[in-house]
Structure 1
Amino acid sequence: MQRTNTPTQTRSPRHQVRGRIIAKADELFRARGYAKTTIANIAQELGMSTSNIYKFFSSKNAVVEATVELNIDTLRAEVMMAAQERGTHLDRIENIVLSIIAHHRIRFENEANLYELILIANEEKWGCIRRWKILLRDIVTELVEGGMRAGEFKEGNAAATAELVLDSLTVFLHPLLHSDCAAGEMERRARTHLRFLGRAMQHATLN
């Protein structure tokens, strides 16, 4: 039987409208900030009613979370690229950490309003932040497993070891803590910390 090619799926009109709302909200939140941007502002800019916005989002916070998710999508892509760069497994973990530091640094220095939204999302533990942390844990676990197989790290429980590694790296990964360090200082400290972790994992990991 001859197969017929399935036509490429396109976004439905509803998804297109939702995407327009998120894009406009992202633009306004970056320009005006969370407090000065209302659902009415977003609706007016799009030439639609506020009731139409609420057909897609239950609240202003739901709109904000969708815009933060956009930023996390960018961070996710950067981290995935860093994880695939050449080098040892420890090198790749370091690349991930440095890419996250750079991402938060850019937001802190150049996009204060977006940085504020990211802090709110972290403080309130929104779903997009929980999903991001799970993804990061899975990526680091995979690298720790690879390092154990390659003889780079002592064999053990990769998931538990990765969890411990991430816990120890919180000071470098949480966006709130970047405001207290001069440019370059966080990166220097992260490299030193990771070299220490690498030496430790050569001799001991969790079982």
Structure 2
Amino acid sequence: MSKEKSSYPVSKRGPEDHDVRDQILSAATEHFSRYGYEKTTVSDLAKSIGFSKAYIYKFFESKQAIGEMICANCLREIEDEVNTAIKEAEYPAEKLRVLFKAIVEASLRLFSQERKLYEIAASAASEKWDATLAYEKRILKMLQNIIQEGRQIGDFERKTPIDEAVKAIYLVMRPYLHPLLLQHSISYNTDAPVLLSSLVLRSLSP
């Protein structure tokens, strides 16, 4: 992971009691996994945890604030997985292929194995929560770093403005990053990473 300051949301509300905050998040994650995010109220959550609703509000200002922290945790796991995979690749072209593969696999795993938590991701994407906007910026930064490296060693073309190239590649990946689009792309999950990354790499050839 990069050492730059994280842009993921951190709850500033309430006492500096991280153990209690983590306990609420852990219980909320389990509850949302079982019953779904949309159907759960803060009162439901308080009852399942054994805390009062007022006590939960000391740490989180709303259900969305809880959901956003859970969403941020899920996205951080995906990001860590992608970064680890990229570090094992030697050349920019290989890093780009790995990026596509890791992102698609991690996103599809969330969709298929954690369907109730996926509802949180869908809400986050449709309502443009800070966690998803931060995630998008960090993926764009990953792409930019790979393209810059490829241009420096002569593997990628240099005529296209880099911000334009990065945005175009991101749009190719977006159906596997955006939860509301992912459900319509899932039937292509086996071939997508190879086909899409190959197409992009051909467009980047000098």
TM range (shorter): 0.7 to 0.9
Which residue of structure 2 lines up, in the alignment, with residue 51 of structure 1? 54
In the alignment, structure 1 residue 163 sits paired with structure 2 residue 171: no
For 1:102-141, what aligned pairs fall within 5 Å after superposition? Answer: 102-141=105-144
- State the 1:178 CA deviation: 3.1
Distance 1:38 1:182, change over 3 A: closer
Structure 1's unaligned 5+ residue stretches are 1-11
Name the TM-score, length of structure 2 as normaliser.
Answer: 0.84
Listed one character per residue, the Cα deviations across residues 61-116 of structure 1 (whole Å, up to 9, x for unaligned) are 11111111111111111111122122421221221222121122122222211111
Which residue of structure 2 lines up, in the alignment, with residue 173 of structure 1? 177
Determine which structure has more spread, i.e. the larger CA radius of gyration.
Answer: 1
- RMSD of aligned residue pairs (Cα, Å): 1.9
Which residue of structure 2 lines up, in the alignment, with residue 96 of structure 1? 99
Q: Quote the Cα distance in structure 2 between the aligned partners of 1:197 and 1:182.
A: 20
Contact 1:101/1:187 (CA < 8 Å) preserved in 2? no
Contact 2:175/2:185 (CA < 8 Å) preserved in 1? no
Q: Quote the Cα distance in structure 2 between the aligned partners of 1:45 and 1:13.
A: 23
- State the 1:13 CA deviation: 5.1
Which residue of structure 2 lines up, in the alignment, with residue 40 of structure 1? 43
Larger relative contact order (Cα-Cα within 8 Å, sequence gap ≥ 6): 2
Distance 1:96 1:120, change over 3 A: same
Q: Quote the Cα distance in structure 1 between the aligned partners of 2:38 and 2:134.
A: 26
For 1:61-72, what aligned pairs fall within 5 Å after superposition? Answer: 61-72=64-75
Q: Quote the Cα distance in structure 1 between the aligned partners of 2:35 and 2:176.
A: 28
Contact 2:156/2:205 (CA < 8 Å) preserved in 1? yes
Structure 2's unaligned 5+ residue stretches are 1-14
Which residue of structure 2 lines up, in the alignment, with residue 3 of structure 1? none
SS in 1 for 2:144: helix
Report runs of 4+ in structure 1 exceeding 6 Å deviation: none
Q: Quote the Cα distance in structure 1 between the aligned partners of 2:192 and 2:38.
A: 35
Name the TM-score, length of structure 1 as normaliser.
Answer: 0.84
Deviates more, 1:168-177 or 1:147-156: 168-177
- State the 1:139 CA deviation: 0.9
SS in 1 for 2:205: helix
Deviates more, 1:54-63 or 1:42-51: 42-51
Contact 2:104/2:193 (CA < 8 Å) preserved in 1? no
Q: Quote the Cα distance in structure 2 between the aligned partners of 1:168 and 1:36.
A: 33
Q: Quote the Cα distance in structure 2 between the aligned partners of 1:26 and 1:99.
A: 24
| Identity level (%) | 25
Contact 2:21/2:59 (CA < 8 Å) preserved in 1? yes
